[in-house]
Amino acid sequence: MHRKKAIVTLAMCLAAGGILRAREFNGPDALAITRKVVAFGPRPSGSEAIKKLQIYILAQLKPFGCQVTQDDFTASTPLRQTPMKNIIARFSGRSGKAIVITGHYDTKSMPGTYFVGANDGGASAGFLLEFAKAIAGEPRRDDVYLVWFDGEEAIAQWSDYDSLYGSRHLAEKWAGDGTLERIRALINVDLIGDRKLDILQDMNSSSPLRELVWSTAERLGFGSHFLKNASAIEDDHLPFLHRGVKALDLIDLDYGPANSYWHTDKDTIDKLSAESFRIVGKVLLESLKSLEHEDADDGRNHRR
């Protein structure tokens, strides 16, 4: 049995061109994880529900062999001092450089509305956990950081000071400890689970990185989901972009008829699709490979 299994494994390896194929991003699994995230209910920063979700995320990361950091801080908001926690999973590479994939896991506080944020906070949290599974155990050229941001949502009204608490905190922290200068690219995902997936071109993102991801989507046959429509989005990539990091936001802000599901009690799990998760996951896995190959090419050119 052991010999037979080895022969089958070798045949699979040869069929893949002499190397074992990397894992695929599993859309149904990402949706199932998101369903569990949403089951915690509304998850505003500092709430009991988000604390339970933090425990869940940390437990899910344990089998993946990554270095996990809990980045705790207290945010000064218009209403109160609020405890927040970014969760960072590092998959080590050998180049000394890093690629970062981020998203938020909090939901907007909406008193009087049972807002579970299936797409807005839930989808990015579930996506990142499935992405962690997809890259776990794979040899890496660059470090890959996956970051779950707390405090993306405004506590009172969106402004430069009442929003993006987790990403602003981490960008400042990483600027101070030298991590920021090692980052080759940062890609943020937000509202990417919509059944009708239409990702805007964000003009507040780095053009070369946007072009890389859009060309990757086109090559994979997903070009119809990565629109030519342009807008300028304020999201968790901005604090890094403003500090010189090449950064991109992937967001679908056409959620329901006339965007009518966004920040309402209609943002529920039935509005999401495993296929949308799969599309974004596959595009980002392929983009990650391209970025690492680009780094390898830069290294060869430098040695010449």
Q: What is the DSSP letter of 64?
A: G
In a domain, 10, yes or no: no
List the CATH number of the domain containing 38: 3.40.630.10
In a domain, 204, yes or no: yes
Nearest to 37 by CA among 137, 131, 106, 132: 106
How many CA atoms are closer than 13 Å to the CA of 15, on its beta-carbon side? 6
The tally of domains found in the chain comes to 1
In a domain, 19, yes or no: no
**What is the DSSP pairing of strand 247-251 with strand 183-190?**
parallel
In a domain, 226, yes or no: yes
In a domain, 42, yes or no: yes
Taking CA atoms, 111 is separated from 44, 166, 259, in Å, by 11, 22, 21
How many CA atoms are closer than 13 Å to the CA of 46, on its beta-carbon side? 16
Nearest to 252 by CA among 206, 197, 209, 215: 197
In a domain, 117, yes or no: yes
In a domain, 105, yes or no: yes
pLDDT bracket for residue 294 (50, 70, 90): confident
Q: What is the pLDDT of residue 19?
A: 34
pLDDT in tens, 97-128: 999 999 999 999 999 999 999 999 999 999 99
Which of the residue ranges 9-18, 70-79, 293-302 would you say has the lowest mean pLDDT?
9-18
Nearest to 69 by CA among 58, 60, 56, 59: 58
Q: Which residues pair with 82 in a beta bridge?
A: 75
Distance CA 10, CA 13 (A): 5
In whole numbers, what is the pLDDT of the chain averaged over residues?
A: 91
pTM of the predicted structure, to 2 decimals:
0.90
Q: Scan for tokens 């979700």, then name that residue.
A: 53
In a domain, 51, yes or no: yes
Instruction: Give the three-class secondary structure for 99.
Output: strand
